[in-house]
């Protein structure tokens, strides 16, 4: 033993030196890290407090979810306050028209007419939650009451039809009823709040005449996606009567109909100053936050194990997105390369097109000129004519219709609801316009560093040919 004291001391000294070196390295490394790295080290209590303060100021945290934009313009019919004895008539009409809608039902009414809830589900419609009793001064006295009613209705829907609706519509809409806490807490519980962008006006007073409902709908703006507010509650006979004409109106304009899902970007009103006097203390907020988050965990995912990895990925992405949204300027827009076949193509600069989900919108004139055609504008009838090889395509703005001429002969008419006038240009969707010009989009790459669309043509002879002005199509307008 005595033969080796020195090596042992030596070893100890070396160990201490190594330890010190590691400490020093750790210190240097930590000191070099940006302060934000520590700020992101989340302290849940501090985080809740920060959110609480943000919400108190009436602001909502940025939304991180991305949604699908349908290619075809779409109407989401929504019926509130049912089910009532009128609901079967609404369901019959939808069935006859072959379309699906969304029913924001009341728990109280569902309890009285469970078979109608079953029928709504069985026929492929979406069931949404419209609270239990619709009594404003209860629901908007405190979030706790609203939240209890959502759960109460949800339990009823679950017992009747085995569904827990993810979509919630606030009685009276969110504007001046909700504050930022209501929005935030419901989102934490896993719900999507849906207002509307077209109000049929069928509940402005009792017995609104059918004519008035139809007039209101027809004078509302035509957006690419329309969430239309209607009612199937008691006393709304005129809504039922107006329904077939409303459906026909949108069908003629080229709209599709779809039920709402949580993948559809919800129409939501901005947070206005609530008309209800409410108080939200930090501790009350923290209690509610915990409760809503636990509820989401308990009811959100049917199989938590298999979804864990996916959830982690989603969380990471959300954090990354939230960080980049807060700390970095928006990602630079990219040019869009359009390949038109035969090795030819052109590039659209970021200012020359708009991208919504995978949908590309651009100026009709620009597109046609890039492809070697040209546009004439008929001011008296507000119609643009794209001349392109043997084709002439008339874009009739007031009628939102398109007429296709081949060698001067009218071969087809279409509705194109999503044709718009923006800053003096007609803006059209790329895919549909290419379809109409005799081509199709065969490939689309929309990545963070590359945007490219490839087109194929059924009529190759059209490319770069001298456009022929077809007088017949001009005469047809006079
Ligand atoms: Zn309602």
pLDDT tens for residues 365-374?
888 888 778 8
Tokens 């026909």: give the residue. 248
Distance from Cα 172 to the centre of ligand 1, integer Å = 6
Which of the four pLDDT bands, split at 50, 70 and 90, describes residue 379?
confident
Which of the four pLDDT bands, split at 50, 70 and 90, describes residue 457?
low
Residue where one domain finishes, among candidates 249, 277, 299:
299
Residues 92 and 187 in one domain: yes
Which residue out of 125, 134, 231, 387 is catalytically annotated?
231
Look up residue 378 and give its two tokens: 């008929």
CATH assignment at residue 82? 3.20.20.370
Which of the four pLDDT bands, split at 50, 70 and 90, describes residue 287?
very high
Residue where one domain finishes, among candidates 299, 327, 352:
299
Residues 379 and 278 in one domain: no
pLDDT reading at 45 higher than 90: no
Range of the domain at 409: 336-475
Distance from Cα 213 to the centre of ligand 1, integer Å = 17
Residues 92 and 229 in one domain: yes
Distance from Cα 473 to the centre of ligand 1, integer Å = 50
Ramachandran area for residue 173 (φ above 0: left; ψ -120 to 50: alpha; else beta) = left
Residue 311 lies inside a defined structural domain of this protein: no
Query: CA-CA distance, 119 to 111, in Å (whole number)?
Result: 14
Which of the four pLDDT bands, split at 50, 70 and 90, describes residue 400?
confident
Residue 42 lies inside a defined structural domain of this protein: no
Residue 8 lies inside a defined structural domain of this protein: no
Residues 360 and 250 in one domain: no
Residues 171 and 283 in one domain: yes
pLDDT reading at 209 higher than 80: yes
Residue 194, pLDDT score: 98
Which of the four pLDDT bands, split at 50, 70 and 90, describes residue 471?
very low
Top pLDDT among 188 and 327 is at 188
Number of domains observed in the structure of the chain: 2
Pairing outcome for strands 451-457 and 439-446: antiparallel
Summarize pLDDT for 80-124 with one digit per residue, the tens. Answer: 999 999 999 999 999 999 999 999 999 999 999 999 999 999 999
Residue 435 lies inside a defined structural domain of this protein: yes
Over range 140-165, report the average pLDDT: 96
Over range 232-241, report the average pLDDT: 97
82: DSSP letter? -
- Is there a contact between 120 and 88 (Cβ–Cβ < 8 Å)? no
Residue 165, pLDDT score: 96
Over range 44-70, report the average pLDDT: 88
Mean pLDDT of the chain: 80
Q: Does the annotation count 307 as an active-site position?
A: no
User: Which range among 66-80, 210-224, 229-243, 444-458 shows the weakest confidence by mean pLDDT?
Assistant: 444-458
Q: Does the annotation count 231 as an active-site position?
A: yes
Tokens 């009436």: give the residue. 58
Residue 464, pLDDT score: 38
Residue 470, pLDDT score: 29
User: Which range among 48-57, 62-71, 273-282, 461-470 shows the weakest confidence by mean pLDDT?
Assistant: 461-470
Over range 33-41, report the average pLDDT: 43
Distance from Cα 130 to the centre of ligand 1, integer Å = 7
User: Which range among 12-21, 179-188, 217-226, 362-371 shows the weakest confidence by mean pLDDT?
Assistant: 12-21
User: Which range among 34-38, 134-138, 168-172 shows the weakest confidence by mean pLDDT?
Assistant: 34-38
Residue 59 lies inside a defined structural domain of this protein: no
Residues 256 and 194 in one domain: yes
Q: Per residue, what are the HEC states of 144-178?
A: HHHHHHHHHHHHHHHHHHCCCCCEECCCCCCCCCC
Q: What percent of the chain has pLDDT over 70?
A: 77
Distance from Cα 264 to the centre of ligand 1, integer Å = 21
Query: CA-CA distance, 197 to 229, in Å (whole number)?
Result: 8
Residues 184 and 85 in one domain: yes
pLDDT reading at 227 higher than 50: yes
Residues 93 and 212 in one domain: yes
Residues 348 and 407 in one domain: yes
Residues 344 and 257 in one domain: no
Q: What percent of the chain has pLDDT over 90?
A: 47
User: Which range among 126-140, 252-266, 350-364 shows the weakest confidence by mean pLDDT?
Assistant: 350-364
Which of the four pLDDT bands, split at 50, 70 and 90, describes residue 339?
confident
Which residue out of 80, 195, 392, 396 is catalytically annotated?
80
Look up residue 192 and give its two tokens: 């999507």
- Is there a contact between 434 and 441 (Cβ–Cβ < 8 Å)? yes
């Amino acid at each position: 033993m005595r033969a080796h004291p020195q090596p042992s001391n030596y070893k100890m000294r070396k160990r201490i030196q190594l330890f010190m070196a590691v400490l020093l390295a750790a210190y240097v490394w930590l000191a070099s890290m940006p302060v934000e790295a520590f700020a992101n080290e989340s302290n849940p209590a501090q985080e809740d407090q920060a959110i609480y303060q943000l919400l108190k100021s009436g602001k909502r945290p940025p939304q991180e979810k991305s949604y699908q934009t349908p290619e075809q313009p779409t109407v989401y019919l929504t019926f509130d306050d049912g089910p009532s004895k009128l609901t079967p008539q609404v369901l019959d009409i939808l069935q006859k028209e072959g379309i699906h809608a969304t029913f924001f039902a009341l728990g109280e009414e569902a309890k009285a007419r469970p078979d109608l809830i079953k029928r709504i589900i069985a026929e492929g419609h979406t069931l949404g939650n419209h609270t239990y009793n619709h009594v404003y001064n209860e629901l908007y006295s405190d979030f706790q009451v609203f939240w209890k009613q959502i759960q109460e209705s949800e339990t009823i829907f679950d017992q009747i039809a085995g569904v827990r609706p993810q979509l919630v519509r606030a009685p009276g809409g969110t504007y001046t009823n909700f504050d930022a806490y209501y929005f935030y807490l419901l989102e934490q519980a896993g719900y999507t709040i849906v207002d509307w962008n077209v109000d049929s006006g069928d509940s402005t007073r009792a017995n609104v005449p059918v004519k008035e409902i139809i007039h209101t709908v027809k004078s509302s703006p035509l957006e690419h996606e329309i969430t239309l507010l209607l009612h199937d509650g008691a006393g709304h006979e005129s809504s039922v009567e107006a329904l077939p004409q409303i459906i026909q109106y949108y069908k003629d304009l080229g709209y599709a109909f779809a039920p709402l899902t949580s993948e559809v970007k919800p129409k939501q009103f901005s947070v206005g100053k609530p008309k209800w006097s409410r108080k939200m203390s930090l501790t009350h907020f923290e209690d509610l936050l915990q409760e809503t988050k636990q509820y989401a965990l308990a009811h959100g995912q049917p199989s938590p194990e298999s979804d864990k990895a996916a959830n982690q990925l989603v969380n990471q992405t959300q954090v990354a997105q939230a960080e980049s949204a807060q700390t970095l300027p928006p990602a630079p827009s990219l040019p869009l390369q359009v390949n038109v076949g035969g090795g030819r193509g052109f590039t659209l600069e970021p200012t020359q097109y708009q991208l919504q989900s995978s949908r590309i919108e651009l100026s009709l004139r620009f597109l046609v000129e890039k492809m070697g055609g040209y546009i004439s504008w008929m001011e008296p009838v507000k119609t643009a004519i794209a001349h392109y090889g043997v084709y002439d395509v008339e874009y009739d703005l007031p009628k939102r219709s398109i007429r296709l001429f081949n060698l001067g002969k009218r071969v087809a008419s279409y509705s194109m609801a999503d044709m718009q006038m923006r800053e003096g240009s007609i803006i059209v969707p790329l895919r549909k316009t290419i379809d109409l010009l005799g081509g199709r989009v065969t490939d689309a790459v929309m990545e963070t560093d590359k945007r490219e669309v490839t087109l194929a043509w059924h009529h190759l002879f059209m490319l770069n040919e001298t456009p022929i002005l077809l007088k017949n199509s001009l005469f047809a307008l006079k």
